């Protein structure tokens, strides 16, 4: 049975370790090793994760029995439009197709709705097959962006959005 817990400061190393396991299996088809390493070091170092937690980002961890199998992260990005952003959603590849991603995204959506959210946005690499998961979940492609992340690297993404709340 999949259980979701809200991550605390002491859970940040778990999220970093999960990213180290998941990212190479997820992204090596369309980003090179140098960019993959740069992005992991930039976005998943324990200091960056802790900083996001302290800024009010919500981190959730999915566990199956005693094993941590995935995580998600979200925050409010626009108070005026009541838009939340799903910053991270990753599940161990051996757990794909078992509903873990759906459970995580539903919990993020529910948290945003309980806080008055009207929209949930995310960025997904244009080559990532997760795009189909999000489309199936009701997200729509809002725009195409190329985000400069430094060191000559870009994230070539779709911004996707889901209307939530009433």
The pLDDT score that the predictor gives to residue 26 is 87
| CA nearest neighbour of 42 among 148, 124, 159 | 148
The total domain count for the chain is 1
The pLDDT score that the predictor gives to residue 166 is 67
What is the domain-level CATH number for residue 138? 3.40.630.30
Total-model pTM = 0.94
The pLDDT score that the predictor gives to residue 29 is 87
The pLDDT score that the predictor gives to residue 68 is 98
Phi, psi angle pair for 152, to nearest 5°: 80, 10
The pLDDT score that the predictor gives to residue 9 is 95
Q: pLDDT tens digits, the chain, 166 residues: what are they?
A: 999 999 999 999 999 999 999 999 888 888 999 999 999 999 999 899 999 999 999 999 999 999 999 999 999 999 999 999 999 999 999 999 999 999 999 999 999 999 999 999 999 999 998 999 999 999 999 999 999 999 999 999 999 999 997 6
d(CA 100, CA 102): 5
Domain span at 11: 2-163
The pLDDT score that the predictor gives to residue 43 is 93
Q: What angle do CA 85, 88, 141 make, to 5 degrees?
A: 55
Phi, psi angle pair for 12, to nearest 5°: -60, -40
Question: Residue 71, CB half-sphere, CA atoms under 13 Å: how many?
Answer: 29
- How would you classify residue 153: left for phi > 0, otherwise alpha for psi between -120 and 50, otherwise beta? beta
Structural contact between residues 70 and 18, judged by C-beta atoms closer than 8 angstroms: yes
């Amino acid at each position: 049975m999949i259980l979701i817990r809200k991550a605390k400061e002491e859970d940040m190393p778990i999220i970093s370790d999960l990213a180290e396991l998941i990212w190479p299996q997820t992204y090596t088809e369309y980003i090179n090793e140098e960019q993959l390493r740069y992005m992991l070091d930039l976005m998943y170092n324990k200091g960056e994760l802790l900083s996001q937690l302290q800024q009010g980002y919500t981190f959730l961890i999915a566990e199956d029995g005693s094993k941590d199998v995935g995580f998600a992260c979200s925050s409010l990005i626009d108070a005026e439009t009541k838009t939340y952003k799903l910053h991270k959603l990753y599940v161990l590849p051996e757990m794909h197709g078992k509903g873990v991603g759906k459970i995580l995204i539903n919990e993020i959506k529910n948290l945003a709705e309980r806080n008055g959210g009207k929209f949930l946005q995310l960025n997904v690499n244009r080559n990532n097959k997760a795009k189909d998961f999000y489309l199936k979940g009701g997200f729509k492609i809002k725009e195409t962006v190329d985000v400069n992340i430094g060191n000559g690297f870009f994230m070539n993404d779709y911004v996707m959005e889901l209307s939530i709340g009433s």
